[in-house]
Amino acid sequence: MTLGEIMNIGVIGLGFVGLSISSVLASKNYNVVGIDIDKQKCSDIRNGVLPLFEPDLENTLRIGLKKKLTISNNFSLIKNCDIIFVTVGTPQKSNGAIELSMIKKATTTIGQIIRKSKKNSIIFIKSTVVPGTTQNVILPILEKESGKKVNRDFGVISNPEFLQESNAIRDTKYPHAIVLGGKQSKYMKKAKMFFSKMHPNVPIVITNFQTAEMIKYANNSFLATKISFINQLSNICQNIPGTNIDDIAKIIGLDPRIGKLFLNAGPGYGGSCLPKDINALINFANKIGVNPILLNAVKNTNREQVSNIVSLMKKILGDITSKRITILGTAFKPNTDDIRDSKSIELIKKLLKNKAKIIIHDPKAIENTKKIFGEKILYTKSIADALNKSQCVIIMTHWKQYDTLNNNSIKHMNKKNIIDCRRVLVKKELDAKYYAIGIGKN
Ligand code: UGA
């Protein structure tokens, strides 16, 4: 039996992964239904209003909506889909383990819908889940709810996602690799054909469920390890007068065995993925009786970075009670308004505990930051206002706007102290006391 050409695609869960995939596939002329349980969110998206800031997404969504993209909270629309991507969140519980309630709910509904469908759909699990989840949790739900048999009546493939926020559209269009985990079957063959047509020169790895699931954790935990490694080194460098962490990263990065990316020292990794995935892998390893010594060290190194910034600030200013401190950047990285697990948010919380007066600037993330701190801190749209009367400025996120800071920009600071966590101003001659993560002070 052949399964026919893939034309109708369903995407369940419209976070930045689901939205990017829906928009890109619709812009490539597939019939796409993007489903989310949040009615208001669906109606906003239909009107081209995004729930998040992601470069190029708005434009790609607009093209998709003009073509064949339907956005709805009505799950039954997936009944005619040849393939269904599951892109719902798997947030973390307080013990670090992943919360499966959303993926269980989504797969229950999918199962009930494919029960009535004549299609032999393929379900791609893109949500990040620990090894064993597809086999032991998702498959039984789908078979029970559909009354059908996997690999005979429908396919299930673990298909982890590697796209980065702020580059979501680029990464969806040009992934570096595609992982397909599952049993060898007609569904796997069809999936391979679909992806090789979409991405002709991209390596496709076919493996089993648990390996595919583990690849995602391996990828993110290696990235986190690189960041914690360079951050640990940067702390050492800070105590060797004249040492520059960026020169070190640049040179070791030229060794192809190391590679130059993800060696930017800073306040630690944040965001909705790296911290959560490290925690989940640590939790999983402990559960199966493996002591994750390295992963724990990566996590602890990451946690220390913000405490190091607070210590440095206290060294510079003494008691920080009532002192006006400027934070430049609250987004967890530039070109996003996402502040989930942002190191900047963690820093502000610590400074507030020390009764400092905080004023923040961020080109995109002010509204999200307000949701956390309300009236407890001050917000400004202008960098000049943020610096006015300040006793210390901390550059947390490398927005390109901060590259232009100079002596003129800091002239109205009360005390000219700069802590540059991203070494944005390292090459400038500044009439200020300048401290940077990873630069040893002479
Ligand atoms: C990360 C991975 O990079 C993606 O491949 C993965 O698909 C995604 O998680 C996910 O699991 O969904 P993302 O969360 O968008 O992507 O963020 P990254 O670009 O990886 O940055 C994470 C954090 O590390 C940021 O706070 C960033 O400032 C920090 N970072 C990154 C550094 O401090 N130094 C670096 O050299 C690189």
Residue identifier of the C-alpha nearest atom 5 of ligand 1: 162
Contact 104, 136 (CB under 8 A): no
Question: What token pair was written down for 250?
Answer: 């640049």
Query: 274 CB less than 6 Å from ligand 1?
Result: yes
Helices (H), 268-333: 274-287, 293-317
3-class DSSP state for residue 410? coil
pLDDT one digit per residue (tens) for the chain, 442 residues: 445 687 999 999 999 999 999 999 999 999 999 999 999 999 999 999 999 999 999 999 999 999 999 999 999 999 999 999 999 999 999 999 999 999 999 999 999 999 999 999 999 999 999 999 999 999 999 999 999 999 999 999 999 999 999 999 999 999 999 999 999 999 999 999 999 999 999 999 999 999 999 999 999 999 999 999 999 999 999 999 999 999 999 999 999 999 999 999 999 999 999 999 999 999 999 999 999 999 999 999 999 999 999 999 999 999 999 999 999 999 999 999 999 999 999 999 999 999 999 999 999 999 999 999 999 999 999 999 999 999 999 999 999 999 999 999 999 999 999 999 999 999 999 999 999 999 998 8
237 is catalytic: no
C-beta 421 within 6 A of ligand 1: no
Q: Ligand 1 centre and the CA of 44: distance in Å?
A: 27
274 CA distance to ligand 1 middle (Å): 6
* Best residue among 21, 54, 57, 164 to mutate for probing ligand 1, ranked by most atoms within 8 Å of CB: 164
The atom number, within ligand 1, closest to the CA of 165 reads 15
Distance between CA 121 and CA 11 in Å, rounded? 13
Tell me which of 237, 273, 392, 421 is the catalytic residue: 273
- CB crowding 190-223: b at 16 or more within 10 Å, else e: bbeebbeebbeeeeeebebbbebbbbbbeebbeb
Ligand 1 and 394: CB distance under 6 A:
no
By most ligand atoms within 8 Å of CB, the mutation choice from 219, 261, 269 for ligand 1 is 269
Q: Does residue 263 line the site of ligand 1, with CB under 6 A?
A: yes
Is the Cα dihedral 280, 284, 287, 292 positive or negative?
A: negative
| pLDDT at res. 4 | 67
Q: What is the CA radius of gyration of the chain?
A: 24
For the Cβ of 273 lying below 6 angstroms from any atom of ligand 1, the answer is yes
Nearest atom (ligand 1) to Cα of 333: 28
Other beta carbons less than 10 A from residue 237's beta carbon:
22
Q: Is 389 left (phi over 0), alpha (psi -120 to 50) or beta?
A: left
Report phi then psi at 390, rounded to 5.
-75, 150
Contact between 329 and 322 (Cβ < 8 Å): no
CA 34 remoteness from chain centre: 20
Give yes or no for residue 224 CB within 6 A of ligand 1. Answer: no
Task: Report the pLDDT value the prediction gives residue 1, as an integer from 0 to 100.
Answer: 40
**Any atom of ligand 1 within 6 Å of the Cβ of 161:** yes
Half-sphere exposure of 351 (CA within 13 A, CB side): 33
Pocket test for ligand 1, best of 170, 172, 223 (most atoms within 8 A of CB): 223
